Structure 1
Amino acid sequence: MNHYQSLNDQALAGLLQTGDRQAFTALYSRYWEKMVIVAYVKLQSTQDAEEVVQDLFVDIWNRRGNLQLRNSFHTYISGALKYKIYTFIGRKNQELARSGSLAMEDICRNTEEWLSYEALREDLEKAVLELPEKCRLVFRLSRENGLSNQDIANTLSIAPKTVEKHLTKALLHLRTALKSFFFLFL
């Protein structure tokens, strides 16, 4: 194992692509604690941070044969961790929204208002799923995670104008897709 510790990240990543478990273990040992600290800063929970980093390393191992490094391994794993954190936060927000929806359901179970709300929510989700992948990601980061355009641009490494274009496209699509729903109330 000492031999692996002396190798640089690029050499270890090359060995990892061939399925070398010791190279993976060396990268894991080298980056685990650093990545947990970064995740903790964003999530403010040691348990959540460790879960996200563990998922990240499982994904790296599972995709080892297709690992394409355009830059350094450190750049790759840092970017991958960012996406894992945002996905984790989004999943937590959805769980909170579901628990809030259950409370609302208890209050409004048999009312017409509840049925209208559910129909609108389902139509909205369908319309969001029709968006192109990048547009949908930008929309969810903005509307569901509450990120600013600049934060989204930084997270996805795209220009703020591109974020604005994706949001404009998403809102136009949603307006068109949900137009029939709003005509029911007029």
Structure 2
Amino acid sequence: MAQHTDQELISLIRESDYAAFEQLHARFWPELQKLAYKKIGDRQDAYDLLQDMFIEIWEKRETLNFGDRLPGWLQKRLWFKLSTYFRNQGFRKQHQDDFKVYLENENASDFDPIELKEAEAYYEDLLAAINKAIDEMPNRMREVFLLNRNEKYSVNEIADRLGLSPKTVRNQLERAILRLRKSTETYNPSALQILFILWIIKR
């Protein structure tokens, strides 16, 4: 197979040349894999994240702005994927741990084991909806919300950090929580699932 320049690869990929895409993959995967693994520390997660990134590139090949320098563009896209990964992982782990403690305090033994299993599966779907709602928040609202929920910053601490008034911070948090409530409106939860929803949107 002829080796193309980076710009030639971009042009060919835009024309849906899959051989060019495979060449792109082979040329840049090893270095990107090293970077992803260095940041994540888990080979499988790094592989999956990078695989998702390349799939997205192929699926969006006709509309992506690859920029002038392909290596730099790919690294920036990897940083974006990594930031999303860490944001979602942090949110997920915190709420899994907190909800487990909450159930213990609420005497979870009163619930049927099968119902608990269903709630765990439901949790995955609900969390996906919540993360989507967070990703779609305006930048400032998302920043305020994550500082409060993930970093445990108080309203006043967020105000000081971001140079906002406490009233503005409270307004942003209220709007963020409203968005989360709306993101769960289409669900038809069981009693235990309702308990989870109430916990996550009111805590």
TM-score by length of 1: 0.64
Match of 1:133 in 2: 138
Question: 1:7 maps to which residue?
Answer: 4
Secondary structure, counterpart of 1:65 in structure 2: coil
Deviation at 1:168, TM superposition (A): 3.6
* Superposed CA offset, 1:84-111 (max 9, x none): 011111121122112112222223338x
- Whether 2:102 is the aligned partner of 1:105: answer yes
> Which of residues 14, 23, 30 is equivalent to 1:17?
14
Shift of 1:142: 5.5
The correspondence of residues 110-121 of structure 1 with structure 2, limited to 5 A, is none
Contact 2:21–2:58, Cα closer than 8 Å, also in 1: yes
Residues 1:174 and 2:179 aligned together: no
Q: Which amino acid aligns with 2:10?
A: A
Structure 2: unaligned runs, 5 residues or longer: 108-129, 152-158, 175-203
User: 1:63 aligns to what?
Assistant: 60
Alpha-carbon distance in 2 for matches of 1:33, 1:143: 37
Secondary structure of 1:69's aligned partner: coil
The answer on whether the counterparts of 1:56 and 1:84 sit within 8 Å (CA) in structure 2 is yes
Task: State how far apart, in whole Å, the 1-side matches of 2:15 and 2:39 are.
Answer: 33
Q: Percent identity?
A: 23
**Alignment size in residue pairs:** 142
Change (3 A) 1:35 1:66: same
Q: What do you get for the CA RMSD once the two structures are aligned?
A: 3.2
8 Å Cα contact 1:89-1:145 kept in structure 2: no
Tell me the CA shift for residue 134 of structure 1.
Answer: 2.6
